[in-house]
Amino acid sequence: MKHQITIKDIAVKLGLSTSTVSRALKDHPDISPKTRVAVKELASLLGYRPNRIALNLRNNSTRTIGLIIPEIEHYFFSAIINGIEEVAYKNDYSVMVFQSNESYKREVINTQAVLTNRVDGVLVSFSKETRDFSHFQRLIDNEIPVVFFDRVTEELQADQVVADDYQGAFIAVNHLIEKGCKRIAHFAAPQSLAIGRSRLSGYHDALLKHDIAYNPALVVLADTFDSSKKAAHDILRNADRPDGFFAVNDMSAIAIIKAAVELGLKVPQDVKVVGFENSKSSALIEPELTSVDQFGFELGREACLQLLRRLKEDEDISEFKPVKKVIKTKLVVRGST
Amino acid sequence: MKHQITIKDIAVKLGLSTSTVSRALKDHPDISPKTRVAVKELASLLGYRPNRIALNLRNNSTRTIGLIIPEIEHYFFSAIINGIEEVAYKNDYSVMVFQSNESYKREVINTQAVLTNRVDGVLVSFSKETRDFSHFQRLIDNEIPVVFFDRVTEELQADQVVADDYQGAFIAVNHLIEKGCKRIAHFAAPQSLAIGRSRLSGYHDALLKHDIAYNPALVVLADTFDSSKKAAHDILRNADRPDGFFAVNDMSAIAIIKAAVELGLKVPQDVKVVGFENSKSSALIEPELTSVDQFGFELGREACLQLLRRLKEDEDISEFKPVKKVIKTKLVVRGST
DNA sequence: CGAAATATTTCAACCGATTGCAGTAATTTA
DNA sequence: TAAATTACTGCAATCGGTTGAAATATTTCG
């Protein structure tokens, strides 16, 4: 990088001290109008921009937010990043992105990276592998505000922003029942994730409400396209195949539709399918997918706003009360049900 | 943030000077083994981590890359970010993400943001609105290496990494012709973008090769789902409707398929469609979409690698020779042709 | 044993900007 | 005209770490 114009350059050229220049630039009342004008003119002439790093050092703040996320290349997460960046931008913060790629080990390294980069706060959605949270505890111990979103844990004293997974699952399954489904399967996420548990629980309670017995055989661990396609093939070949599916995400739901079509079944006549996410893809497939919108953009916004709130607070850690923000979900009904 | 352990804390506790501690931590030969061990032990006991910001200030480098991108919430770009983050991570760089949201004005602000954040280098794919490039020239004037990817311009002396748009378009249209299409429409991106021009040109030349006259009426500006769906409806209602479509991206292609289906046309029997991107969605729709894979992840990797190369160089700006890296594309044939 | 050589540690300046306090100049007041 | 205000401006320390040069401690050797 070229030599950047510093306050000293301006000071030397005008025969002033750096302190005077500094004060002139920020309209300090002590500085005479003449000096102030001269300094400002020269500053803009030279294209002076304050060195943020020097300020960072002095203020012990970087106006930077660290974002640790499983994978960017996934509609839901990219929508979240979009929301986060939007709020950060409006509040003059920058966002540093770190992917864990669903790897616990890499996630630990990511937490070290946000520490070295001295970000002011961190937004986290942890990996599927993560069971131990001490690397996040380390951030909290350093009094770096951490807000978890989507993938959260009760094991840490930290803010959470999540979609209302339980409610979303409940309305989805309720919808299937109202559409006449009697035998509803659930393709679930790992039960180590709260979203996995909440969605299963919503599924369970919606069945109960309609006096349908909960049948563990109809709950399958399958949250990717490939695993879901395979599982759907298997389960749909049974004589007593399900007439409805509630999938933990859209990819899984789409895989189910594809499997059903491949087996000569008609969607929604023979099998109805509901996804979770309301991704762009849900409107593209045929039939279009009924899905629970979990408002990723909103979720990102809220998570970032909550973090900014923490950053503004006088952090009296002894009085810390974690906040849990739940974003209501909404069923978007389309052709698959 | 809590008080972070500094070199001074260690120095005071051991009755040493900060210089000794600093040297001990980096195995400087001047330091006696006894001191070195003592310092290192205390450092790890206290959980000392060097303050990156102080180093940034001194070294005038942040080991941070700025990324300016139209929108994160788009498969192609998120794949690129993925590739970039991957390379940055392996080389111990961090990535700061700035969205332009396809807005020129915001893009200008983004370039200022990367300047204030004193990133070491910048990766850019500019907005559809951008006609004037002086904000990027400002970065270059500051001797901050800039690498453009996907959306590039010849107006600036800067490195470029692009997919082989011409070749991709050519093989796509060639494929349509070989499949029997006689009347091929092209849904194009704005001609202000190089990708728009290159893909049109590939389309044009593939027609020529097969002695099919180029018909301007078959070239439509439509690069979003909605605009493409509308345009496809219009053009497919004509008596002399096209029997093949080459769309500038997958969203556009999918919209065409949807429109065709809505009009009672069969894909690929009545109309064949090729997209560009090979996004996740292309394999989800029915029929699955034939598409030109532009390897977003690779493109991101290469762009970041090129930037890192520049960062390593002794930047003798007078001898700067821009590099243009072209990533070969590949046609992925599926059910839509 | 004392000087020279070597080993180890400290001093002080620096990176760029901020800010409390001291200092100087200009103006007002007695 | 001298003293007291007031208006400006500069000094120096600070943020945390690095590094050339100087200082001190320890060894080595004649």
Instruction: Enumerate residues near strand C (beta carbon within 7 A).
Output: A 3-4, 6-8, 18-19, 22-23, 25-26, 48, 50-51, 54-55, 57-58; B 15-20, 23, 30-35, 54, 57-58, 60
Is B23 near strand D, with its CB below 7 A from some atom of it? Answer: yes
Residue with tokens 């180093």: B55
Q: How far apart are CA A26 and CA A30, in angstroms?
A: 11
Cβ neighbours for A310, distance < 8 A, ≥ 6 positions apart: A121, A145, A147, A159
Contact between B129 and B151 under an 8 Å Cβ cutoff? The reply is: no
Whether A45 has a pLDDT exceeding 60, the answer reads yes
Chain segment A232-251, per-residue pLDDT in tens:
999 999 999 999 999 999 99
Cβ neighbours for B330, distance < 8 A, ≥ 6 positions apart: B292, B293, B295
Please provide residue A66's backbone torsions phi and psi, each rounded to the nearest 5 degrees. Answer: -95, 140
Q: What are the chain A neighbours of B144 within 8 Å (beta carbons)?
A: 1
Which bases of chain C are under 7 A from a protein CB atom?
7-12, 14-20
Of B46, B45, B50, B23, the residue nearest B36 (C-alpha): B23
Q: How far apart are CA A177 and CA A259, in angstroms?
A: 21
Chain segment A153-193, per-residue pLDDT in tens:
999 999 999 999 999 999 999 999 999 999 999 999 999 88
> Can you tell me the mean pLDDT for A99-103?
96
Of A51, A52, A78, the CB nearest to B78: A78
Is B22 near strand D, with its CB below 7 A from some atom of it? Answer: yes
Of B284, B275, B286, the residue nearest B335 (C-alpha): B286
* Predicted pLDDT at A313: 80
Q: How many angstroms separate the CA of residue A329 from the nearest CA in chain B?
A: 20
Q: How many angstroms separate the CA of residue A147 from the nearest CA in chain B?
A: 15
Residue A169, both tokens: 């699952």
Q: How far apart are CA B233 and CA B299, in angstroms?
A: 34
> Which domains are delineated in chain A?
7-50 (1.10.260.40), 60-163+297-326 (3.40.50.2300), 165-293 (3.40.50.2300)
Cβ-defined contact of B53 to A71 (cutoff 8 Å)? no
Amino acid at A102: E
Residue of A nearest to B66 (CA): A96
Between CA B58 and C1' C8 the distance (Å) reads 26
Cβ-defined contact of A113 to B120 (cutoff 8 Å)? no
Q: How many angstroms separate the CA of residue B192 from the nearest CA in chain A?
A: 26
Which of B7, B63, B78 would best serve as a mutation to test chain A binding (most A beta carbons within 10 A)?
B78
Which of A3, A93, A94 would best serve as a mutation to test chain B binding (most B beta carbons within 10 A)?
A94
Nucleotide nearest to A56 (CA to C1'): D15
Chain segment B115-173, per-residue pLDDT in tens:
989 999 999 999 999 999 999 999 998 889 999 999 999 999 999 999 999 999 999 99
Which of A72, A84, A251 would best serve as a mutation to test chain B binding (most B beta carbons within 10 A)?
A72
Q: How many angstroms separate the CA of residue A186 from the nearest CA in chain B?
A: 21
* Predicted pLDDT at A210: 97
Is A116 near strand D, with its CB below 7 A from some atom of it? Answer: no
Q: How many angstroms separate the CA of residue A10 from the nearest CA in chain B?
A: 18
Residue A243, both tokens: 């007439």
Q: How far apart are CA B100 and CA A171, in angstroms?
A: 36
Chain segment A104-133, per-residue pLDDT in tens:
999 999 999 999 899 999 999 999 999 999
Q: How many angstroms separate the CA of residue A216 from the nearest CA in chain B?
A: 29
- pLDDT by 10s per residue, chain B, length 337: 678 899 999 999 999 999 999 999 999 999 999 999 999 999 999 999 999 999 999 999 999 999 999 999 999 999 999 999 999 999 999 999 999 999 999 999 999 999 989 999 999 999 999 999 999 999 998 889 999 999 999 999 999 999 999 999 999 999 999 999 999 999 999 998 899 999 999 999 999 999 999 999 999 999 999 999 999 999 999 999 999 999 999 999 999 999 999 999 999 999 999 999 999 999 998 899 999 999 999 999 999 999 999 998 765 566 789 999 999 999 999 999 9
Is B321 near strand D, with its CB below 7 A from some atom of it? Answer: no
Q: How far apart are CA B160 and CA B162, in angstroms?
A: 6
Between CA B47 and C1' C12 the distance (Å) reads 28
Q: What are the chain A neighbours of B49 within 8 Å (beta carbons)?
A: 115-116
Helices (H), chain A: 7-14, 18-25, 33-46, 52-59, 75-90, 104-116, 134-141, 165-178, 194-209, 225-237, 250-262, 296-312
Question: Is B293 strand, coil or helix?
Answer: strand
Question: Is B249 strand, coil or helix?
Answer: coil
Between CA B57 and C1' C18 the distance (Å) reads 15
Between CA B30 and C1' D21 the distance (Å) reads 14
Q: Is the dihedral of CA A161, A163, A165, A166 positive or negative?
A: positive
Sheet holding A184-188, edge to edge: A219-221, A184-188, A244-247, A272-277, A290-293, A330-332
Residue of B nearest to A109 (CA): B89
Q: What are the chain B neighbours of A82 within 8 Å (beta carbons)?
A: 71-73, 99
Whether A4 has a pLDDT exceeding 90, the answer reads no
* Predicted pLDDT at A318: 65
Please provide residue A177's backbone torsions phi and psi, each rounded to the nearest 5 degrees. Answer: -65, -45
Using the 8-state DSSP alphabet, how is residue B330 labeled?
E
CA distances from A9 to A37, B57, B141, B142 (A): 16, 17, 18, 16
CA distances from A20 to A41, A50, A55, A304, B181 (A): 14, 15, 17, 38, 74
* Predicted pLDDT at B315: 56
- pLDDT above 70 covers a percentage of chain A that reads 98
Between CA A38 and C1' D8 the distance (Å) reads 15
* Predicted pLDDT at B241: 95
Of A197, A250, A187, A198, the residue nearest A222 (C-alpha): A187
Residue of A nearest to B88 (CA): A98
Residue with tokens 């004060």: A23
Of B95, B118, B281, the CB nearest to A53: B118
Chain segment A209-234, per-residue pLDDT in tens:
999 999 999 999 999 999 999 999 99
Please provide residue B185's backbone torsions phi and psi, each rounded to the nearest 5 degrees. Answer: -95, 155
Which of A284, A297, A307, A311 would best serve as a mutation to test chain B binding (most B beta carbons within 10 A)?
A284
Between CA A54 and C1' C14 the distance (Å) reads 13
Cβ-defined contact of A2 to B79 (cutoff 8 Å)? no
Please provide residue A212's backbone torsions phi and psi, each rounded to the nearest 5 degrees. Answer: -100, 130
Q: How far apart are CA A108 and CA A130, in angstroms?
A: 10
Of A161, A136, A157, A160, the residue nearest A317 (C-alpha): A157
CA distances from B262 to B11, B230, B243 (A): 76, 12, 16
Of A200, A262, A202, the residue nearest A232 (C-alpha): A262
Q: What are the chain B neighbours of A74 within 8 Å (beta carbons)?
A: 78
- pLDDT above 90 covers a percentage of chain A that reads 91
Which bases of chain D are under 7 A from a protein CB atom?
7-12, 14-21
Kindly provide the b/e burial profile for residues A225-263, where b requires at least 16 CB atoms within 10 angstroms of the residue's own CB.
Answer: bebbbebbbebbeeeebbbbbbbbbbbbbbbbbbbbbee
